[in-house]
Amino acid sequence: MISILAYHRRAVELELGNRADIVQMGPNGEPSRVDEWLWQSYLGFARTYEFSEAQVTISGQWKTGMDAIVWPDNCRAIDSIKFYWPNGTSVRTRWKDMDYLRRYPTGPSTLPTFVYPLMSIGPPAITAQHGNRIYVRPYADQIMYTYILDYFVKPQQIVGEDSFDPPYVAKSPFDIGATEFLVGDDWLEIVELGAQLRGHINLGEPDKASAIQQLLFGVTTPTTGKMVPGLIAQALNRRQIMAPRMDYNIQPAQAKRDYTNVG
């Protein structure tokens, strides 16, 4: 089920004292302060943590004359990119930095390979990210390669009405209530608490803000120095649960030995 900003207004409003001034929209229909706090809370978490709900996969073609692949407009970060031969077999590529990629010729060339230490055209072998582009070298030969790009969607405001089931009816042309929260269900409470934290700070209630800060990010016990994790740390346990499946290539650690085998 899609969760949108409007679904969380009431909960934040109640926790901030049920004040009418914080839910009142601007004179021209601008978002209320509660809406802005919810948006800023979601924006902060969505730009800091990776949520599977924000993962998108698209495909495209890498062909002659192309210099780089431009990030999609809604892309926040690249997860992976993989190229394929026309028969569906994957092409082995490696991620490098731009300094390494600049070793390749600055344009496609048909000169023999002994002229350049690196081939100027051929199947994609090196990729490097710079700005909002993925540069690929060498330049494509006459074969048209297919690529699959996996990336994370950046947080986006949805202004006005949008189609949901049931449909959301905007209160004004500037209403951001239809903004989607692309987080897991266990993070929706955290987004609300983040909005409450911002609200208490803006309303001059530091004690209440401090309590939510500790609830979200944890607290260190003064007497023992032990760190008590907060809700965010508890919500990040999915990575630990999947670790046995994801970390299959990590070599097991070996105990240190105080002798040398000189057989």
- Gap between the Cα atoms of 211 and 228, Å rounded: 14
Whether 134 maps to a domain, the answer reads: yes
Structure tokens at 186: 């266990």
- 95/225: higher pLDDT: 95
- Rounded to a whole number of angstroms, the CA Rg of the chain reads 25
Whether 161 maps to a domain, the answer reads: yes
Residues 136 and 165 in one domain: no
Give me the helix-helix angle, 33-48 and 185-202, nearest 10°.
130
For 89, residues 6+ apart whose C-beta sits below 8 A from its C-beta are: none
Residues 43 and 173 in one domain: yes
Cis peptide upstream of residue 138 (ω within 30 degrees of 0): yes
Q: Given this model, what pLDDT does residue 235 score?
A: 85
Whether 117 maps to a domain, the answer reads: yes
Number of structural domains found in the chain: 2
Q: Worst-scoring range by mean pLDDT, 14-23, 63-72, 124-133, 227-236?
A: 227-236
Residues 47 and 100 in one domain: no
| Rounded mean pLDDT, 97-120 | 69
Residues 43 and 111 in one domain: no
Residues 20 and 137 in one domain: no
Residues 99 and 78 in one domain: yes
- Gap between the Cα atoms of 212 and 135, Å rounded: 44
Sign of CA dihedral 57, 58, 61, 67: negative
- Gap between the Cα atoms of 110 and 141, Å rounded: 10
Residues 139 and 179 in one domain: no
Q: Is the pLDDT of residue 45 over 70?
A: yes
- Gap between the Cα atoms of 34 and 50, Å rounded: 25
* Boundaries of domain holding 77: 64-143
C-beta of residue 10 within 8 angstroms of C-beta of residue 19: no
Q: Is the pLDDT of residue 228 over 90?
A: no
Residues 47 and 162 in one domain: yes
Whether 227 maps to a domain, the answer reads: no
- Gap between the Cα atoms of 188 and 184, Å rounded: 7
CA angle 48, 22, 17 (to 5 degrees): 95
Whether 79 maps to a domain, the answer reads: yes
| Rounded mean pLDDT, 242-246 | 56
| Rounded mean pLDDT, 235-262 | 58
Q: Strands, DSSP E only, in the chain?
A: 55-62, 68-70, 75-84, 90-91, 94-95, 126-130, 133-137, 145-153, 219-220, 227-228
Whether 210 maps to a domain, the answer reads: yes
Whether 149 maps to a domain, the answer reads: no
Q: Given this model, what pLDDT does residue 244 score?
A: 55
Whether 244 maps to a domain, the answer reads: no
Residues 41 and 93 in one domain: no
